[in-house]
Chain A
Amino acid sequence: AQSVTQLDSHVSVSEGTPVLLRCNYSSSYSPSLFWYVQHPNKGLQLLLKYTSAATLVKGINGFEAEFKKSETSFHLTKPSAHMSDAAEYFCVVSVRSQGNLIFGKGTKLSVKP
């Protein structure tokens, strides 16, 4: 069965410091993996996606994620946090045999000035 675990429910960083949001997945198939961001009272926006091409995926707003099959991980990183990055981030796996995405519980990112 497919599942997603986001290892931190809340991450707090200072502006200008690196961001690391951790995600592990479990999938019986070669997965498609996504990171979505949700700003307060807004819908979800796609940050980046992994689709079995390059293992290092670059997304919008300077974010990137690396697919590591041996570690079943898909961690999201950014070299330097900006105040506008404060939001909730969801790691998501696409389920091949069903019509849905499996969402992690989310990681809330706070950015301190």
Chain B
Amino acid sequence: NAGVTQTPKFRILKIGQSMTLQCTQDMNHNYMYWYRQDPGMGLKLIYYSVGAGITDKGEVPNGYNVSRSTTEDFPLRLELAAPSQTSVYFCASSYSGTGSAYEQYFGPGTRLTVT
């Protein structure tokens, strides 16, 4: 049982480049999330999904896109990378959604630098 896995671990992008951050979970969780963590700050929600085919914006969605074609996978796409997107990105999953007792399980993170 691997839990939540993310690839790559590190990436350096030039301004304007595009990339996809991969996230996979093997716990059969319905809910999946993408967060970013900036230095000295807590995590902020980018997008989330309550099941395959359903996604919704979080607090900071601009500059990102997501898709959820399967229960297991929830990739995050950066179309035109900007320096403001330099951050550590965490993917998470949970059995149920908010207001419930079901905690979120986090991946190890992807450290992205845009120069």
Interface residues in chain A, defined as those with a beta carbon under 8 Å from any beta carbon in chain B: 4, 9, 29, 32, 34, 36, 41-46, 49, 51, 90, 92, 94-101, 103-106
Contacts and interface: CB of A to CB of B under 8 A. Distances in A.
Contacts of B103: 34, 46, 49
B42 A99 contact: no
Interface string B21-51: 0000000000101000000111111001010
Interface string B48-62: 101000001011000
Contact of B40 (A32, A97, A105): A105
B88 to A, nearest CB: 9
Contacts, number: 72
Interface string B68-100: 000000000000000000000010100001111
Q: How large is the interface on B (under 10, 10 to 19, 20 to 34, 35 or more residues)?
A: 20 to 34
A51 B101 CA distance: 6
Contacts of A100: 33, 45, 48, 58-59, 98
Contacts of B92: 44
25 contacts: A4-B42, A9-B40, A32-B100, A36-B106, A41-B109, A42-B108, A43-B90, A43-B106, A43-B109, A44-B90, A44-B92, A46-B103, A46-B104, A92-B42, A95-B99, A97-B98, A99-B48, A99-B97, A99-B98, A100-B33, A101-B43, A101-B45, A101-B98, A103-B44, A105-B40
Nearest to A42: B108
B41 to A, nearest CB: 6
Contact of B31 (A42, A43, A99): A99
Contacts of B40: 9, 105-106
Among A29, A32, A100, the most chain B Cβ lie within 10 Å of the Cβ of A100
